[in-house]
Structure 1
Amino acid sequence: MSSYRLENTWSPEPAPFGTLKVTLWNLSETPLSDFRLAYTSLTRAMKPFTVSGAELELRDANYHRYAPPADLVVAPGESWSFEVTNLNRDPRHITDGAKSAILTLDPAGAKTHVEVEVSDLYPEGRELVEPGPLLPEGKLTEPYAILPWPAALELEAGETPLALCPAPGASREALAAFSQVEALHRRLYPEARTVLSMVPMPGTRAVAIEMGGDFAEGAYALEIAEVITLKAADDDGIRHGLIVLAQMLHGATVDAASFRFPASGTITDAPRYGWRGSHLDVSRQFWDAADVTRFLDILAWHRMNIFHWHLTDDEGWRMEVKAYPQLTEAGATRGPDALLTPQLGNGVDEVHGHYTQDQIRDVVAHAGALGITVVPEVDIPGHCTAALAVIPELADPQEAPESYHSVQGFANNALNPAREETYDFLAKLFDEMVELFPAKYLHIGGDEVADGSWLNSHYARLLMEKEGLSGTFELQSYFMRRVAGMLAERGRVLAGWNEVAHGGGVDPEGTLLMAWEKPEVGIELAKEGYDVVMTPGQAYYLDMAQAEEWLEPGAAWAGTSTPVHSYTYEAEGEFPEELRPRLKGIQACIWCEHFTSRAYFNRLVFPRLCGVAEAAWTPKERKDLHRYAAIVKLHPAF
């Protein structure tokens, strides 16, 4: 137990964003003096810093370090408070305050860092109400535990078999598919009984697998009789059909009062979209390789086929690059005395995390075996604080410090597009990435470059004059066009966030952009000729708070995204019919600023991820919120 505790409260006055009040309690047996207090908080102090009762010595993104008044002594059992105004925004949820705090004793000498317990953020003078149910109770009209729901289904319920087994004479490929799906079920539900068995026994039912026929990619058909027949034209279709059978039998065994297994009937099914994805940010909070493979299993269970792996950002570089070992030696570590400051809940202990290339190969192989394509992302030219900290020559050394700040508060965080060192770095990086990731697309980010970036760079001004460029976004477009060419030389296609189209963009032919800022952006991109994946923050960002109440955790910049909205939202929206072919699919995004615990991850990601999966697979007219609410209770947790 810590001997120190930080409490933080918020008052809405003065407008527009109110006052954050911070109180440090000394619960030790000795007086506290000669110290510094630091905390991490997404509610940030902004310049000019307005602090009463302390001095803000350093603010690096959401890391704040304060000095107390000279000669302050906090006696045992007493506290010290200060107030911060000129905030970046008004807090809206309990997780908007301090996530961690660090006390540094004798800051000018030996420097001892001490952990500080941190309270949740509470608003002054506001009644706090617990959020209500996030989904309706759920109602089944057909007792089958299938998620996503199939395109067409006509079944008669029957007795629950002991297990399903391959029909006599099954091919090696069919046996391997059986084994794979049973292993997937066992990993996701280790406490549940086996639903697929390789050996016929009394009470089992046989499944015959027929490969071939006129099926779309990933489609399958099930003919259910005494012997179940599964038909598909590809491995994905076979896997999807077996997963559906496994889901139905799992539901019937763990909740026999609600779910049954069919005695007869048919299922005819195909995915609605070709891109059924989920993104995972491993930079803000690191998830090790075992966690990532667990997440891939969950995607496969819901018949999702794209894993967008967000491997780099301001807060950390997570992918081993042989040509630049410093990226993961120092650029993947945060701590009070590290090159990168603590962020997003980090405390006294340094936190480090990256994937070796062998681990990346293992993850990619695991995904491939489950029919999932791994699309890697290195976020450039912005969001590069970690890279620039260890390779400073990728910036202009003459550019004044803090010439610009990103929306997250990082100073001068973008690779300089006017330095050839930048493209030399990217060439070596891309060479290694194409060896690790066989996917067609390589995602290069392109988002949230601050307006004003590079305008104080001598190199950038010379480039602008030479190329006839004006402003940050035409510079960014120049950079993106060069990057697109570099990827094409390596047999890859550029994917990025919707801001890649800013400043003139890149050649739309073959480029894939993700519309995240708001739904209307996707239509505009399609009009410009880009292929589009819809991932609007208002529906598919799973870090958004799920209710308006203060006690509901999560982010708020895109409003409230309830599980009902994530499920019922239709990405096609107002897409004109002639632009529909540009819409390649939909994707959930999991940004991890708020996921300081696995419990928060599970609370915010589920059940919304399952709802996005059904929206990606199931035809609009076949979706049913109450059926979904009844079935989604069976989802495996992360």
Structure 2
Amino acid sequence: MSIKKINALLGLALFLITKPGFTQELSILPQPESVKILQGKFVFSGNTVIVDHKDSVFAIAVKELKLLKKNRTAGLSNQLVFTRDASLKPEAYRLKISPKQITIAVNDKLGAFWAVQTLKQLAGTNAFKTKNTWALPALEINDQPKFSWRGVHLDVSRHFFDIAYLHRFIDRLSFYKFNKFHWHLTDDQGWRIEIKKYPELTKVGAWRKLNNQDSACLKLAETNPDYKLPEKHFKVINGEKMYGGFYTQQEIRELVAYAGAKGIEIIPEIDMPGHMQAATRQFPWLTSTGSVQKEKNFTDPICPCKETTFEFAENIFKEVAQLFPSKYIHLGADEVEKSGWKNIPECEALMKRENLKSIDEVQSYFVKRMEKYFNSMGKKLIGWDEILDGGVSPTATLMYWRTWVPTAPKHAAEKGNYIIMTPGEFCYFDAQQDAHSLQKVYGFNPRGFNLNEQEQQYVLGGQANLWTEYIPSEQRLEYMLFPRLLAMSDVLWGHQQNFETFSRKMDQQFAVLDAMHINYRFTDLKGFAENNVF
């Protein structure tokens, strides 16, 4: 028996000892809006048939139930029946399980898919076994998400994660009803997306000699193998061993389609104008000085005062837009070393021509111009909350992360900008964990931050962010993500109860995480000193 399983049993036993009168609860995460337990059970098996009335709305939900047969004829026992109900809101579902039949009523494909994920959660570890039966409790559930944006962000630039792993990553997000994958594809440390117009971006920009972050990971790997850089991400180029990797456009199309069939929209981020050294090393003419150097705090950004910059950016985003059917594209626009634009003739001419009063307004000019280009392709722009500096257009969407700028969400809402909440205090899962981390995440309120009732309507939701400077392996990634991700799913679906109830559910979820082969961090056990039987 594994250490994790032993710990799980100890934790559950300790809870039962210290909580007399405890009755087991259904471990559905995130918590549904309402649950009513009925008498009896429904037995899911290879004999169960699906009745979907040939409605394409149910296609991805039916596909998820791989072990069941489809039957277009109603009236049989031991069946699952999908129905349409136009009164239900987007992503909502109504689930009724009786001993002879399961009925799922929805108004869209996502509602049907999330209902199936609830069935899988009710099945527990059996959902991850083949040729098995699921004994499901009879019940009625009415459910819908509170937030339309329930996201997870992954940085693949600092350390690379291959396309095969990202398929498993998508599976895990969808199981807990996340619907957005924010894919941070480029940064100073590596360019991960194939761009046909500029093959050098991946031929050269996707590979590097080991940097200081890699060295720090290798030092930590001496005592923790999760910090080891996987050998599969090394390649010999011109006689030198280089670290990196990238995604071909075909791989991206396949992942986008796979995610769509799992209820998840992938939002690409190509970070501009800062964090661009993976590109500027190949094309130094993109910077204001024509050289690549380290400035005061961050690397040289690309120059928003040259038309050649916009030609380059538009060529890239044209290909990006064709690969991703998502409503949004993320421009980044964070942590820009704007001092590099001072005393540059092209920038002085731009400021005079456009009546710009500050360097902040120069960045705003870049963001607004790129937003117009996104709009011309039918896309909406998202930027980190720095896009507020220098003025923001009323149609841009803000991603709030800088907790040291507490007025940013209110400032954005007052201007009518939609907001996705990702404050570092609650949402940066690259931060080291301790005994209080899980409860900290569970206390996250996306509609807080001094927003009044009118301003709260601009909050689309929130997401967990994972930056990978010190997360080089799949094992380490999962350790940092789980079980905090389960707490975030409860927060963003929006019907969470209290942390004590959530903790009880986690006692059952650890076995499910084991069944998914996830390298999670087991929560700290409490009470041994206070409740020592010896």
TM-score, length of structure 1 as denominator length: 0.67
Residue 232 (1) aligns with residue 114 (2): no
Deviation of 1:547 after TM superposition, in Å, equals: 2.1
Equivalent residue, structure 1, for 2:245: 353
One of 82, 85, 95 as aligned partner of 1:222: 95
Question: Secondary structure, in 3 states, of the residue corresponding to 1:350?
Answer: strand
What residue is the counterpart of 1:373 in the other structure?
A: 265
RMSD: 3.1
After superposition, where does 1:461-472 map in structure 2 within 5 Å?
461-472=348-359
Given the alignment, which residue of 390, 398, 411 partners 1:513?
398
1:154 aligns with 36
Q: How many Å separate the matches in 2 of 1:254 and 1:394?
A: 50
**SS of 1:452 mapped into structure 2:** helix
CA deviation vs aligned residue, 1:493-520 (integer Å, no higher than 9, x gap): 1111110111122x123x2111011265
Alpha-carbon shift at residue 197 of structure 1 (Å): 2.8
Displacement of 1:269 in angstroms is 0.4
Cα-to-partner distance string for 1:433-480 (whole Å, 9 max, x where unaligned): 111111111110011113523225332233234434344312111111
Residue 329 of structure 2, aligned match among 430, 442, 445: 442
**Residues in 1 aligned to 2:346 and 2:244: alpha-carbon distance in whole angstroms:** 34
Q: Is the 8 A contact 2:38 2:140 kept in 1?
A: no
Distance in 1 separating the partners of 2:214 and 2:497: 48
Select the residue among 606, 609, 613 that pairs with 2:485.
Answer: 609
Percent identity reads: 31
Structure 2: how far apart are the matches of 1:514 and 1:487? 17
Q: How many residues align?
A: 466
Within 5 A, what are the aligned runs for 1:287-436?
287-335=161-209, 345=217, 349-397=241-289, 401-406=293-298, 411-412=299-300, 414-436=301-323
Which secondary structure does the structure 2 equivalent of 1:265 belong to? strand
TM-score (norm. length: structure 2): 0.80
CA distance in 2, matches of 1:164, 1:153: 27
Structure 2 match to 1:489: 376
Q: Distance in 1 between the 2:315 and 2:342 partners? A: 27
Structure 2 CA distance for aligned equivalents of residues 402 and 208 of structure 1: 61
Q: Which runs of 5+ in 1 are unaligned?
A: 1-131, 184-195, 549-560
- How far off is 1:631 after superposition? 3.9
In 1, are the aligned partners of 2:333 and 2:383 still within 8 Å (CA)? yes
More displaced 10-residue stretch of structure 1: 432-441 or 612-621: 612-621
| Matched residue, 1:127 | none
Structure number with the higher helix fraction is: 2
* Aligned equivalents of 1:343, 1:395: Cα separation in 2: 28
Write the distance in 1 (CA, Å) between the matches of 2:38 and 2:469. 47
* Partner amino acid, structure 1, of 2:31: W
Superposition pairs for residues 127-206 of structure 1, below 5 Å? Answer: 141-156=23-38, 158-159=40-41, 161=43, 163=45, 166-167=48-49, 170-173=52-55, 176-177=59-60, 179-183=62-66, 196-198=67-69, 205-206=78-79
Query: What residue in structure 2 maps to residue 562 of structure 1?
Result: 437
Separation in structure 2 between the aligned mates of residue 593 and residue 526 of structure 1, nearest angstrom = 32
Amino acid at match of 2:400: A
1:113-139 Cα deviation digits (max 9, x unpaired): xxxxxxxxxxxxxxxxxxx99x98678
Greater displacement, 150-159 / 270-279: 150-159
CA distance in 1, matches of 2:479, 2:180: 22
SS in 1 for 2:274: coil
**Which structure would you say has the larger Rg?**
1
Q: Does the CA contact (< 8 Å) of 2:213 and 2:470 recur in 1?
A: no
Tell whether the 8 Å contact from 2:52 to 2:83 is kept in structure 1 after alignment: no
More strand by share: 1
The letter for the 1-side match of 2:260 is G
Distance 1:597 1:465 in 2: 49
CA distance in 2, matches of 1:136, 1:331: 47
| 1:529-568 alignment runs, 5 A limit | 529-547=416-434, 562-568=437-443
Q: Is the Cα–Cα contact under 8 Å of residues 158 and 469 in structure 2 kept in the other structure?
A: yes
Show CA shifts across 1:197-253 (max 9, x none): 3289xxx94211112331110111111212111111111111111111111012578
User: 2:69 is paired with a residue of what secondary structure?
Assistant: coil
Question: Within 1, Cα distance between the matches of 2:475 and 2:455?
Answer: 40
User: Aligned partner of 1:497: which letter?
Assistant: W
8 Å CA contact 2:25, 2:505 repeated in 1: no
Cα displacement string for residues 403-461 of structure 1 (whole angstroms, at most 9, x for unaligned residues):
4331xxxx32x111111110000111121111111111111001111352322533223
CA shift, 1:563, in A, is 1.3
Q: Is the 8 A contact 2:277 2:292 kept in 1?
A: no
Structure 2 portions without partners, runs of 5+: 1-6, 17-21, 72-76, 219-228, 230-239, 520-534
Distance (whole Å) between structure 2 residues aligned to residue 424 and residue 456 of structure 1: 23
Say if 2:507 is the partner of 1:630: yes
Match of 2:474 in 1: 598
